[in-house]
Amino acid sequence: MRRRIIGTIVGVLAGALFLGAAVHASVTGGGSASPRTKITLVAPAAPGGGWDAFAREGQQVMRTEGIAGGVQVVNIPGASGTIGLGQVAEMGDRHDIMLVTGGVMVGGTIINNSQVTLEDVTPIARLADDFNVLVVPADSPFQTLDDFAAALAADPGGTAIAGGSLGGIDHLLAGLLAQAVGANPASVNYLAYPGGGEVVTSVLSHTAAAGLSGYNEFRDQIESGSMRALGTSAPEPVEGIDLPTFREGGLDVSMSNWRGYIAPPGIDDETREELIAMVTELRDTEAWAEVLDRNGWVDSFMTGDEFGAFIAEETRRTEQIVEELGL
């Protein structure tokens, strides 16, 4: 078992180094003077997850709308996005790269004691809020949010919840739900996985009693009837997602998995404004409005210094939540 664990760690590190080299190669090849000539979007997670989907949706709209001449996506998974964050933070003044960021990365830097934080990069824009849903297998005894809340209160250690990486929105929400029902958040049996696919498998195999992730991670299973959704973390109902909020279900819990873009720390003001202009054009297209609608994302656009202030406040809030929950 020890050899297997060591082998897995070595494989992950080797993959991160390989992908990091791919990013450096992609941004050092052309020497273009403007990010509109060529832009690389880094998804700090494996293909198929929420960050990857966000990057590829942006890539498609930038291409079809002619916002940039060339747009590619590179994946650098690991440690709640902090591996990708660390590599982009080392890219100095590279003008033709943006990293997808979000609430998961804020928690990841705290839980993982990351040497690099979102203070070490350049905020570009926040684009959307994505809200979590709580799901159970179709044959689960939990028919309602009340049923699940009662079980979590009675036996938090025996009511396993599957979700994404430690420190992410899923993990924090599991703790907040436990707190809301009067259980000790630190006693929750939280099963952390690197991607939504593994969370789905964990729930359907009954390894976990429930799962927490973005609605899109579970959409197919909910619509097919293999999973039942009990509630959403949105502060108010989201158009297109026919689910009660946790608050409507009597649990005073809400949290957004917001998503946006940051850039390397050394870019000049002209490049920063150009990147902000590009993302603003993206957001203002009908194609992006369709992306929001299709994915159940909510527009929460802000840019530059306003976005930087939001990140600082989110970091303070998340640090407080992590401390209160004993995570």
State the residue for tokens 């409005």. Answer: 289
Nearest to 128 by CA among 39, 77, 61: 61
What is the distance between the alpha carbons of residues 199 and 213, in angstroms, rounded to a whole number?
8
* Exposed/middle/buried for residue 62 (C-beta within 10 Å: 0-12, 13-18, 19+): buried
Q: In the chain, list all ranges with CATH 3.40.190.10.
A: 131-232
CATH entry 3.40.190.150 includes domain 2-128+258-308: yes
**Can you give the pLDDT at residue 239?**
85
What is the distance between the alpha carbons of residues 169 and 110, in angstroms, rounded to a whole number?
12
Counting Cα atoms < 13 Å in the Cβ hemisphere of 107 gives 25
**Can you give the pLDDT at residue 23?**
53
> Which amino acid type is present at position 263?
A
What is the distance between the alpha carbons of residues 156 and 111, in angstroms, rounded to a whole number?
21
Which pTM was predicted?
0.84
Positive or negative, the CA dihedral 33, 301, 98, 281 is negative
Q: Please, what's the largest Cα pairwise distance for the chain?
A: 61
Q: Which CATH class is domain 131-232?
A: alpha beta
Q: What is the pLDDT along the chain (327 residues), one digit of tens a residue?
A: 333 333 333 334 444 444 445 455 444 444 457 899 999 999 998 887 788 999 999 999 999 999 999 999 999 998 889 999 999 999 999 999 999 999 999 999 998 889 999 999 999 999 999 999 999 999 999 999 999 999 999 999 999 999 988 888 999 999 999 999 999 999 999 999 877 889 999 999 999 999 999 998 899 999 999 999 999 999 999 888 889 999 999 999 999 999 999 999 999 999 999 999 999 999 999 999 999 999 989 999 999 999 999 999 999 999 988 998 887
Q: In the chain, list all ranges with CATH 3.40.190.150.
A: 2-128+258-308
What is the distance between the alpha carbons of residues 245 and 78, in angstroms, rounded to a whole number?
30
